[in-house]
Amino acid sequence: MPAPIDFYFDFSSPYGYLASEQIDALAARHGRDVVWRPILLGVVFQQTGGQPLLNIPLKGGYARHDLARSARLLGLPFQLPSTFPFLSVAACRAYYWLHDQDPAGAVALAKALFREAFGTGGDIDSGEAVLRIAESAGVGVGGAGGAGEMAAALNDPAVKQRLRDEVSQAISKGVFGSPLFVVDGEPFWGHDRLDQVDLWLQRGGW
């Protein structure tokens, strides 16, 4: 069984959203699974001196245009949330908490969160918003405790630590942006590198 593809992203990354709509199908064409790994770019940027793309003079205006254009090309709805960039801590915690019980459900939640944020321009930065989207998507709220379990997990010290560990591990592996894919040890950064990811999987490298 070939190794899965690591898909690193921040829920606040609009190019991550575009990638989230494509990566599973792309991987499946090559018989690969995908491990979805949400991270906090803000923590990464403290080390790299990076800043949110859309805040950069000139480049930010271009990125808004490029995002809308790329979404149209893919046939995806696209709208920026009113609060942007936003903190994705709650979304990440919900994802990792759910992942440990129901990996497929966690990915479904991640897709629902991305669609809410960038497909319809909704805010997903609060715990309340994350719970509401989980309920809408019918994931992570089906246990005996219902939505209350997920609500508790968002403030669980173990879950908080789990997210810190995931972010630290990502940084130690050289992850510096979103989306970033690792295929058999080979890193590819950016939604616009998905074509190279596809070729790499097809040819086994070059």
Asked whether position 58 contacts its own copies by CB under 8 A, the answer is yes
Asked whether position 187 contacts its own copies by CB under 8 A, the answer is yes
Sequence-ordered alpha helix ranges (H) in 13-88: 14-20, 23-29, 41-48, 59-74
Per the CB < 8 A criterion, the answer to whether 180 and 16 are in contact is no
Give the range of 29-37, 90-98, 161-169, 186-194 binding its own copies by CB under 8 A. Answer: 186-194
Which residue's CB is nearer to its own copies, number 122 or number 190? Answer: 190
Which residue's CB is nearer to its own copies, number 99 or number 191? Answer: 191
Nearest to 10 by CA among 35, 34, 42, 33: 42
- 103-122 binders of its own copies (CB under 8 A): none
Interacting residue with its own copies among 33, 62, 100, 143 (CB under 8 A)? 62
Per the CB < 8 A criterion, the answer to whether 116 and 80 are in contact is no
Find where tokens 């715990």 sit: 127
The single-letter code of the amino acid at 62 is Y
Which tokens belong to 46? Answer: 């403290």
Interacting residue with its own copies among 87, 121, 160, 189 (CB under 8 A)? 189
- In this structure, what DSSP letter does residue 145 have? T
Give the range of 10-18, 21-29, 160-168, 190-198 binding its own copies by CB under 8 A. Answer: 190-198
Interacting residue with its own copies among 119, 122, 135, 176 (CB under 8 A)? 176
Asked whether position 199 contacts its own copies by CB under 8 A, the answer is yes
Asked whether position 72 contacts its own copies by CB under 8 A, the answer is yes
Distance of CA 158 to the CA centre of its chain: 21
- By DSSP bridging, strand 34-38 and strand 186-189 are unpaired
Which residues of the shown chain bind its own copies in the complex (CB under 8 A)? 44, 47-50, 56-59, 61-62, 65-66, 69-70, 72-73, 171, 174-177, 187-190, 192-193, 195-196, 199, 206
